């Protein structure tokens, strides 16, 4: 069974913004694209660089170091130089609370 854990509230991550959280020692990035909350690993799969410094483009997250984009729904790496997909996690929103499952 998947355990959802509360990591933030909707107030923490406004539309168009990202918010860093830590869950079980893992650095997770929450992203709000037009009211949809996504959760993914914070670090780019290309190099050790925080995607929190990147930019949201539709349902994609673009790394600001070398420009690779990742699909926030699937984690798929859309552009080189990143070749490895990004880990994405199930998200649940209840009332004002954001829950993420990494298990
Ligand atoms: S570190 Fe993200 S694309 Fe290079």
The model scores a pTM over 0.75: yes
CA of 74 to the centre of ligand 1 (A): 18
Pocket-testing residue among 61, 63, 70, 78, ligand 1, by greatest number of atoms within 8 A of Cβ: 63
- Cβ-based neighbours of 40, under 8 Å, separated by 6 or more: 28, 29, 31, 51, 61, 70, 72, 75, 86, 87, 88, 89
Closest ligand 1 atom to Cα of 81: 3
Q: Please list every protein residue whose CB sits less than 6 Å from any atom of ligand 1.
A: 44, 46-47, 49, 63, 65-66, 68, 81-82
Query: Average per-residue pLDDT in the chain?
Result: 96
State the average pLDDT over residues 80-91: 98
Q: Kindly report, residue by residue over 92-101, the tens digit of the pLDDT.
A: 999 999 999 9
Over 90: is that where the pLDDT of 103 sits? no
The yes-or-no verdict on residue 2 having pLDDT over 80 is no
Name the residue range of residue 82's domain.
5-100
Q: How many domains does the chain have?
A: 1
CATH code of the domain containing 51: 2.102.10.10
Q: Please give the average per-residue pLDDT across 40-67, as a whole number.
A: 98
């Amino acid at each position: 069974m998947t355990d959802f854990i509360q990591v933030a509230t909707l107030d923490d991550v406004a539309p168009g913004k990202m918010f860093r959280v830590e869950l079980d020692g893992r650095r997770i990035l929450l992203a709000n694209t037009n009211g949809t909350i996504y959760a993914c690993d914070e670090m780019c799969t290309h190099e050790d660089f925080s995607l929190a410094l990147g930019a949201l483009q539709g349902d994609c997250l673009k790394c600001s170091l070398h420009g690779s984009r990742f699909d926030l729904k699937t984690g798929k790496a859309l552009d080189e130089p990143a070749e490895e997909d990004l880990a994405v996690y199930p998200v649940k929103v209840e009332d004002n609370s954001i829950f993420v499952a990494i298990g």
